[in-house]
């Protein structure tokens, strides 16, 4: 005989096609948080979600507001009682703009083509939280209850960097109070391999400036006699990188077990060549014993943002008196921006030829890296739920960039289990034209959610 969760999973699976009508309705709001003119649309969508959450059986469905912020939507179902854990599910209902992008379908219409549904916000992040709506609705329809208490918190400002999320956490602590959190806005390494995000790199931007003279001077007269700050700048910045051009400072030891599993990430040579639009004849950097995932997620990196070298059209035969460069540094998980800044500054300022002074300045507040030990009963529970729905445990993955809401949840609730998953896959094209969601990924995620609530219910018993 099928267990109750199996019956709920069956019901949820059959509810998936119908849920696309709801997705189409939400997408049509075009809730673009970066466009002030869309603010009323975000309000309307928030109200619509409140109505829908109440209809599917959630309690206290409400719009949370703060002066100067797009709203959040909150709802809960606390019927499992005090002896069961409360799980918070976070997602966001706002989307990225589409202006100027070459969409082949109307971006705010949900269009199904083959195994994917297209539309701005389909996978980032409407499909993420809708997969929970379907799972919750199926439990309530089939069993009249859920295995654990659930709170939903759907933000309206993620795509502009969650500028007020910390204030929402302060103003509405009860909406966040929980025993475990499922943050559903992250990647899967492929449509067959579910992902559990466990790390982020941080970001630090610096300016390196160097001067030699009060003005530019004739290079025919003074070249070869006085230092050229541009050349000195090039040579000292080059100290930061190895022969491959990778930052050689602040490298982290990579856990061998994780490194072995990271080869499952389908970042093959061909995927890198096409994904990064490499020209014929150009090779990805040599791996030097690591995997592409290890280089992209776990090691620090440096990129040139801009320079004050004279631009084309501004040529003159002069030694320029000053020169500067802006660099962005990706901070490795488990490393602070301060540590990396200290290493880089020491390297840039040691033994500068010609008595030139190098100034290194932090340009704006650094964003923290995040390194999470996804171990313990909540992650075992998530592994079991995914195994039932996907046929395998989630792969522990990282993100090479910074996501403000993740770092914020990490700072505020890092003592709780934070389960980061989602419905995005490598074909999704989030933040670009023709964003889409794989229907199979969505369906497996709906079913994983059904089991996840049951598995997480065992955290307290
Ligand atoms: Zn997102």
What pLDDT does 373 receive? 87
* pLDDT tens digits, one per residue of 280-324: 999 999 999 999 999 999 999 999 999 999 889 999 999 999 999
Q: How far is the CA of 146 from the centre of ligand 1 (A)?
A: 26
What is the pTM (predicted TM-score) of this model?
Answer: 0.88
* pLDDT tens digits, one per residue of 236-261: 999 999 999 999 999 999 999 999 98
Q: Is residue 434 in some structural domain?
A: yes
Q: What is the H or E stretch that residue 221 is in?
A: helix 219-222
Supply the mean pLDDT for the chain.
Answer: 95
Range of the domain at 376: 4-199+369-459
Q: How far is the CA of 83 from the centre of ligand 1 (A)?
A: 33
Q: How far is the CA of 200 from the centre of ligand 1 (A)?
A: 15
Question: In percent, how much of the chain has pLDDT > 90?
Answer: 88
Residue 2 predicted with pLDDT over 80:
no
* pLDDT tens digits, one per residue of 322-365: 999 999 999 999 999 999 999 999 999 999 998 899 999 999 87
Q: How far is the CA of 197 from the centre of ligand 1 (A)?
A: 13
Domain boundary among 362, 378, 411: 362
What pLDDT does 366 receive? 83
Domain count, the chain: 2
Which residues, in sequence order, are bridge partners of residue 111?
A: 118
Q: Which residue has the higher pLDDT, 283 or 1?
A: 283
DSSP state of 410: H
Q: How far is the CA of 316 from the centre of ligand 1 (A)?
A: 47
Q: Quick one: 128 and 183 in the same domain?
A: yes
Q: What is the H or E stretch that residue 219 is in?
A: helix 219-222
Q: How far is the CA of 158 from the centre of ligand 1 (A)?
A: 6
Q: Is residue 110 in some structural domain?
A: yes
Q: What is the mean pLDDT of residues 274-285?
A: 90
What pLDDT does 1 receive? 59
Q: Is residue 354 in some structural domain?
A: yes
Q: How far is the CA of 317 from the centre of ligand 1 (A)?
A: 50
Percent helix, percent strand, percent coil in the chain, to nearest 5 = 40, 20, 40
Q: How far is the CA of 164 from the centre of ligand 1 (A)?
A: 16
Q: How far is the CA of 96 from the centre of ligand 1 (A)?
A: 9
Confidence of residue 403 (pLDDT cuts 50, 70, 90): confident
Q: Is residue 66 in some structural domain?
A: yes
* pLDDT tens digits, one per residue of 34-78: 999 999 999 999 999 999 999 999 999 999 999 999 999 999 999
Q: Is residue 413 in some structural domain?
A: yes
Q: How far is the CA of 329 from the centre of ligand 1 (A)?
A: 23
Contacts with 431 (C-beta within 8 Å, 6 or more apart), sequence order = 96, 124
Q: How far is the CA of 347 from the centre of ligand 1 (A)?
A: 37
Confidence of residue 461 (pLDDT cuts 50, 70, 90): low
Domain boundary among 362, 384, 402: 362
Q: How far is the CA of 79 from the centre of ligand 1 (A)?
A: 29
Residue listed under structure tokens 């069956």: 10
Q: How far is the CA of 124 from the centre of ligand 1 (A)?
A: 4
- Supply the CATH number for residue 98's domain: 3.40.630.10
Q: Is residue 398 in some structural domain?
A: yes
Q: Is residue 268 in some structural domain?
A: no
Q: Are strands 301-307 and 395-399 parallel, antiparallel or unpaired?
A: unpaired
Q: How far is the CA of 109 from the centre of ligand 1 (A)?
A: 18
């Amino acid at each position: 005989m099928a267990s109750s969760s199996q019956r709920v999973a069956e019901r949820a699976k059959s509810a998936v096609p119908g849920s696309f009508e709801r997705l189409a309705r939400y997408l049509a709001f075009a809730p673009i948080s970066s466009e002030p003119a869309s603010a009323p649309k975000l309000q309307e969508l928030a109200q619509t979600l409140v109505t829908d959450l109440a209809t599917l059986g959630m309690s206290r469905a409400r719009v949370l507001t703060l002066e100067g912020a797009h709203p959040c939507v909150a709802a809960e179902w606390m019927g499992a009682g005090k002896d069961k854990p409360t799980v918070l599910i976070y997602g966001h209902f706002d989307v990225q703009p589409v202006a100027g992008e070459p969409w082949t379908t109307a971006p705010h219409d949900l269009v199904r083509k083959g195994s994917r549904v297209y539309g701005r916000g389909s996978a980032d992040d409407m499909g993420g939280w809708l997969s929970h709506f379907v799972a919750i609705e199926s439990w309530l329809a089939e069993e009249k209850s859920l295995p654990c208490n659930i709170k939903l918190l759907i933000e309206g400002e993620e795509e502009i960097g969650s500028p007020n999320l910390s204030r929402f956490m302060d103003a509405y602590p009860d909406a966040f109070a929980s025993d475990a959190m499922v943050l559903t806005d992250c990647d899967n390494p492929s449509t067959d391999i579910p992902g559990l995000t466990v790390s982020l790199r941080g970001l630090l931007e610096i300016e390196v400036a160097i001067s030699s003279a009060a003005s530019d001077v004739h290079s025919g007269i003074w070249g070869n006699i006085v230092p050229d700050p541009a050349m000195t700048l090039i040579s000292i910045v080059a100290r930061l990188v190895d022969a491959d051009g990778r930052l050689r400072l602040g490298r982290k030891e990579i856990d061998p077990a994780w490194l072995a599993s990271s080869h499952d990430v389908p970042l093959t040579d061909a995927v890198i060549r096409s994904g990064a639009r490499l020209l014929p004849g150009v090779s990805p950097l040599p791996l030097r014993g690591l995997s592409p995932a290890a280089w992209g997620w776990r090691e620090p990196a440096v990129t040139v943002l801009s320079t004050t070298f004279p631009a084309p059209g501004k040529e003159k035969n002069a030694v320029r008196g000053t020169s500067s460069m802006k660099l962005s540094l990706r901070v490795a998980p488990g490393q602070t921006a301060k540590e990396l800044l200290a290493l880089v500054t020491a390297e840039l300022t040691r033994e500068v030829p010609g008595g030139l002074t190098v100034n290194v300045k932090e340009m704006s507040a650094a964003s923290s890296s995040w390194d999470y030990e996804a171990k313990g009963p909540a992650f075992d529970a998530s592994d079991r739920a995914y195994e039932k729905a996907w046929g395998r445990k989630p792969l522990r993955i990282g993100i090479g960039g910074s996501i403000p809401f993740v770092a914020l949840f990490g700072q505020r609730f890092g003592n709780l289990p934070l389960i980061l998953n989602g419905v995005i896959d490598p074909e999704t094209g989030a933040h670009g034209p023709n964003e889409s969601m794989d229907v199979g990924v969505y369906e497996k995620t709906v079913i994983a959610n059904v089991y996840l609530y049951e598995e997480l219910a065992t955290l307290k018993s």
